[in-house]
Amino acid sequence: MRRALELAARGPLGPNPRVGCVLLAPDGDLPGGGAVLGEGWHRGAGTPHAEVAALADARERGADVRGATAVVTLEPCDHTGRTGPCSAALIEAGVARVVVGVQDPNPVAAGGAGRLRAAGVDVVTGVLPAEGVAALGAWLPAVHRGRPFVTLKIASTLDGRVAAADGTSRWITSDVARRHAHGLRAQVGAIVVGTGTALVDDPSLTARTGDGSLVEQQPLRVVVGHRAVPQGARLRGPGGELLELRTHDPAHVLEVLHAREVRHVLVEGGPTLAAAFLAAGLVDEVHAYVAPVLLGAGAAAVGDLGVTTLAQAVRLVTSDVVPLGPDVLVVGVPAPPGDAPTTVRTSTEEEH
């Protein structure tokens, strides 16, 4: 299963889950099998799923998979979309046992384990489930909630400012923090900003490598609000597709992006948009890049939340603290009402 998880990590981030599969021979000392007959992972929408890729790999090796064990990170699908059901492919190939990491929560694709059992295949579920959930990343909560997973990104001074009184904002955080933030951008399906940020900052909203070049898979660039993006704006330059949404409703934004099969959304600004998503209860995670800088005035990182007393504050449970050169990244998730905030761990930049 750990090998299958390694294979899953090779897959691209996108509308489909990252899945890996290992086929084991029906002999040897290993539980359920011996020698590896084939391996596969899902390479993106429209390509063979991990199980089918592993079966193809086994055929190329000249291996007989009848009676084999398939170890797969996510329950084999049981529906026909761009490709056929993996459950049927495993049954047709004569696989005798299937070991599953995480059961599929998607009602459209789930049911593979049931079909396999009905065909006489031995199915074991819940192997390394925590690792399997981690490998699925934002895809899993997005499927559970029926909307994209939302990360709110903030880059601010120690006193919570995102710009000075004269409007200047480049650069509050260091190049180390900015490189890390580009890594975050490369993991999401869409970056969302308000029209104020688009007009004042003229951002490109691209994901770049350490040398400044564009990564191959660019996120969708989304501007929320009723003002148009100027024709000469950097948002109309190289990068992902530009989508202008004439709305101020965060729920509608997520509905549109869900329909486009976006699983992970990064909300980058500005303060008004951040407050709108927080007030709507539509932020799943906060990434706050904090620089050891004090301004004392200027735009706040988050706009008015309607909070009038400390008891109404939006509190976060800190899941990670990462030093980034002179800056610090604090990662947190909104705390359930009544829960006291806690810190889970501190990691190093190298771990990320």
Please tell me whether residue 284 adopts helix, strand or coil conformation: coil
Residues 87 and 177 in one domain: no
Q: List helix spans (H) across 63-128.
A: 86-93, 112-118
| 349 is an active site residue | no
Q: What stretch of H or E contains 279?
A: helix 271-279
Residues 80 and 159 in one domain: no
Shared domain check, 176 and 280? yes
Share of the chain above pLDDT 70, in %: 93
Nearest partner of 302 among 277, 265, 324, judged by Cα: 277
- Does 201 share its domain with 335? yes
pLDDT digits (tens, 9 = 90+) for 169-199: 888 999 999 999 999 999 999 999 999 999 9
For residue 106, the enclosing domain spans 2-136
Same domain assignment for residues 255 and 152: yes
Choose, from 51, 75, 268, 285, the residue flagged as catalytic.
51
pLDDT of residue 253: 98
pLDDT band at 352 (very low <50, low <70, confident <90, very high): low
Q: Got the DSSP string for 274-313?
A: HHHHHHTT---EEEEEEES---SSS-BSS------SGGG-
Instruction: Output the domain CATH number for residue 175.
Output: 3.40.430.10
Q: Are residues 326 and 192 located together in one domain of the fold?
A: yes
**Are residues 293 and 343 located together in one domain of the fold?**
yes
Domain-terminating residue out of 136, 171, 189: 136
Q: The CATH number of the domain where 124 resides is what? A: 3.40.140.10
Q: Are 78 and 33 within 8 A, CB to CB?
A: no
* pTM tops 0.85, yes or no: yes
Residue 177 vs residues 34, 138, 338: alpha-carbon distances, Å = 46, 22, 32
pLDDT digits (tens, 9 = 90+) for 220-255: 999 999 999 999 999 999 999 999 999 999 999 999
54 and 166 fall within a common domain: no
| Residue 339 clears pLDDT 70, i.e. is over it | no
Question: Which has more confidence, 108 or 45?
Answer: 45
